[in-house]
Chains A and B, each alone.
Chain A
Amino acid sequence: MKSQFTDTQLSHILDQSLIYQCACPAQVAKHIIGLRDLFAYQQGCLNQTDTDVAVHQRIATDAQRAHAALEECLHAVLVLEQWDMPTLRMPASLQKSPRII
């Protein structure tokens, strides 16, 4: 499966958001991870009949398409929100009332 973002990069985006309500890129990242898991699962599924093969291939193909679309979406969202793309750092302005403990 081709990917724009590595697992570590996706986790890094999720790490910076934590809370669901203020983490739109994180929600997208979470679904991308989910699609990767779904794709990997289909690859490992048992193929006992021709139907099995067709089912698993169809799911894997569509997972790839959805994955590519969501990665594009994530990239666009990060640009819109002005994340630092090389480091994938969340801009301070998006942090919700930060408080240093």
Chain B
Amino acid sequence: MNSPSGPIVKPQNIGIIIVDSSAYTRSLLVERIARIENCFLHAHENLELLDSVRLPSVSGILVLNHHTTDTPPFAFLSRLKQDHPTLHVLVIVSPGVEKRNFEPLRQAGLVDALFEKPIVPDALAKHVEEEVRRQSQTRHLATEHLNLLRFLPTGGLRRIFNQPEPGHAELFDMSVMFTDIRDSSRHIAQSSAQDYFARLNRILGEQARLIRTYDGMVVKTTGDGLLAVFEGAARCHLALKCAHAMQASPPIDEIQIGIGISDGLVLTGLLGTHEHMHFDVIGTHVHLASRLCSLAQGGEILATQDVASRARFEFSSAPISETIQVRGFATPVACAHIQPQIKELS
């Protein structure tokens, strides 16, 4: 499943379609089922008026009161279940021959429930209520799942979540990127906390969007910046291209950022307890990317020379190589200063 990119999704009420060719019995059904919560009703006189393909996607239940004089609905129900396999089809039918005609449909899964006339209204209502509750829960879970995917790893990293146990970890070859706002203390001092927070959210939101665009994954926000990772054979190229796109964009509200990138084996996993877990990445290259980010000037990308070489990226201005003694690392690290030219706003 792809990660969602649209707005946050909200669960919807369950649509119930009532089909009954008799106005009288249709009114009885509507009257009773209308009392059920979290649903809305559509009542129809016959199935021919229903377009199986154009049925609203929120439709969850079809209640068909079949009369002896009605056209047999078998072909329609078969088509309906093909188009809407999750639709719960409930048929009310006379006992005896009429019911026996519907039994094969129930056995084939085209009808989910058969009610014999005369019905006990409370039993029918209870069945529909339970189905509404079941579908609401399913939709709620699906919605939650869709919304949670925004916070979860993409690509191969997702397999971490196949074993959602605290402490479960795996090694991945990854490019690690840190971004950080320069002079954040000054910016905070110059504006209200709320205003700064709103600007920070705009900046980080735009960075996250670019990271997604270049197939990266935001691991977490780090106060004034982000920690992101990129996987796969083209990870260095994608990470650098992403960083380049960030720095080449005119800075939001004149706020500049620094970016650090490193590449290598990183331990990824779930930290915490069963009550609270979060995904994180740990390793030398995470530290290195973080240090390089701190050292980068505003508007600059400071990557390891290894990343710059493997990226096979066409830089707008030639990178400046420098060997830097990075705090916490025994040997100096060959690095590349990259300063993309800011694109003019069209």
Q: Chain A interface (Cβ within 8 Å of chain B)?
A: 7-8, 10-12, 14-21, 23, 26-27, 30, 33-34, 36-37, 95-101
Contact = CB atoms under 8 A, between A and B. Distances in A.
Given A11-B94, A33-B96, A37-B96, A101 B27 contact: yes
Given A14-B117, A100-B23, 7 more contacts: A8-B68, A18-B92, A18-B117, A18-B118, A20-B120, A27-B118, A101-B26
Given A19-B121, A20-B120, A30-B117, A12 B68 contact: yes
Contacts of A18: 25, 28-29, 65, 92, 117-119
B96 A17 contact: no
B93 to A, nearest CB: 9
Interface of B: 22-31, 43, 65, 67-69, 92, 94-98, 116-121
B69 A34 contact: no
Nearest to A31: B95
B97 A19 contact: no
Contacts, number: 84
Contacts of A19: 28, 118-121
Nearest to A9: B68
Contacts of B25: 15-18
Given A18-B119, A30-B117, A98 B24 contact: yes
Contacts of B29: 18
A34 B95 contact: yes
- Give the 4 A-B CB pairs with smallest separation, nearest first: A99-B27, A11-B94, A33-B96, A11-B68
A99 B69 CA distance: 21
Given A17-B118, A19-B121, A30-B117, A12 B69 contact: yes
A99 B68 CA distance: 22
B68 A26 contact: no
Given A11-B96, A14-B95, A98 B27 contact: yes
Contacts of A27: 118
19 contacts: A7-B98, A10-B96, A11-B98, A12-B68, A14-B117, A15-B25, A15-B68, A15-B94, A16-B24, A18-B25, A18-B29, A20-B118, A20-B121, A21-B121, A26-B117, A33-B96, A36-B96, A98-B27, A100-B23
Contacts of B121: 19-21
Given A18-B28, A20-B118, A30-B117, A98 B94 contact: no
Q: Which of A14, A15, A21 has the most CB of B within 10 A?
A: A15
Contacts of A23: 117-118
Nearest to B23: A100
B118 A101 contact: no
B183 to A, nearest CB: 67
A99 to B, nearest CB: 4
A89 B300 CA distance: 86
